[in-house]
Amino acid sequence: MKPDVDFFNDSEGKCDLYGHCGPNGYCNPYLGDFECTCFSGSEPRSPEAWSVRDGTEGCVRKRSISMCGNSEGFIKFPHVKVPDTSADALVDMSIGLKQCEEKCLSNCSCMAYASANSDTNGGVGCLTWHGDLLDARAYTETGQDLYIRVDKLELARYRKKGLLQKKGVLAVIIVSSGIVFFILAAFLRCLVLRQRREAITRKNKNIFCPIRRSSMYFEDSLEEKETDENERNGDLPFFDLSTIAAATNDFSSANKLGQGGFGPVYKGVLLNGKEIAVKRLSKHSGQGVEEF
């Protein structure tokens, strides 16, 4: 009589039961609703029982092409508790994992192999199974690698799936790298444009820096309209109004040399004894700084 299925027991606890998922099935408590899964190349023995989450009847090999000298191979299942070794299992401690694969492949009755001691570097010894695989389960980190024999069609599907996964990972890496490159390029472009703008701004300041020109507009009342003794126009020196007034004896008529369209011209003597001529803009003159 088939045992009742306990829907209320947790998956972790179910996987601790011996042979819970039957022959050629393994227990994986991390799957979700149903913890039993068939190994690659196998299918549920009873789909009806499997549909109600009863995996005790286990799995059987799919009807497929020959797995004896017909380009078959092995699929790796990492992090598993290896199947029961009390029956249909052989051990050879004199060879390593690579030789173990070759030994299993050369024997058509060999359904799976694993390292007899996976704790050492690269694994030591060889475990081979020559019948149904019973009482295997999956872990997330512990356990060891188990290699299941499959036909060439199943092996091709597995490799294609792995290739697609690798392509997916590669596509993600390429897209991520492209995004990072775009962001970096945009940042560098903004930085270069900013430096160019700053360089142009500095250049414009040097070229178009406003030059304040000092002009002296003198009216008859000797009132100064605008002076700047610190600026120069070419090689001509500039003097403040008090210096000019002192040199011309306060624009004395005795120092007047003549009269032009710009205004009267006065002679003067600076404090160092140098003689100068001073043009004084008349308020009636139509000329200005440009004519001066």
pLDDT band at 166 (very low <50, low <70, confident <90, very high): low
Question: For position 172, what pLDDT does the model report?
Answer: 65
Contact 33, 53 (CB under 8 A): yes
pLDDT band at 28 (very low <50, low <70, confident <90, very high): very high
Contact 84, 134 (CB under 8 A): yes
- Tell me whether strands 275-279 and 264-269 are parallel, antiparallel or unpaired: antiparallel
pLDDT above 90 covers a percentage of the chain that reads 35
Residue that wins the pLDDT comparison between 227 and 276: 276
Contact 117, 99 (CB under 8 A): no
pLDDT band at 191 (very low <50, low <70, confident <90, very high): confident
Question: For position 229, what pLDDT does the model report?
Answer: 44
Name the nearest CA neighbour of 17 among 63, 81, 75. Answer: 81
State whether the Cα torsion 238-243-249-253 is positive or negative.
positive
pLDDT band at 267 (very low <50, low <70, confident <90, very high): confident
Question: For position 67, what pLDDT does the model report?
Answer: 83
pLDDT at 208 over 50: no
Q: Where are the domains of the chain?
A: 11-150, 153-210, 213-292
State whether the Cα torsion 119-120-125-130 is positive or negative.
positive
Residue that wins the pLDDT comparison between 290 and 198: 198
pLDDT at 200 over 90: no
pLDDT band at 124 (very low <50, low <70, confident <90, very high): confident
Residue that wins the pLDDT comparison between 224 and 29: 29
Question: For position 47, what pLDDT does the model report?
Answer: 94
* Arithmetic mean of pLDDT, 34-62: 93
* Arithmetic mean of pLDDT, 159-177: 63
Question: For position 226, what pLDDT does the model report?
Answer: 38
Tokens at 267, concatenated: 């002679």
Say which range, 58-72, 210-224, 254-268, has the weakest mean pLDDT. Answer: 210-224
pLDDT at 141 over 70: yes
* Domain 213-292: top CATH class: alpha beta
* Arithmetic mean of pLDDT, 80-102: 92
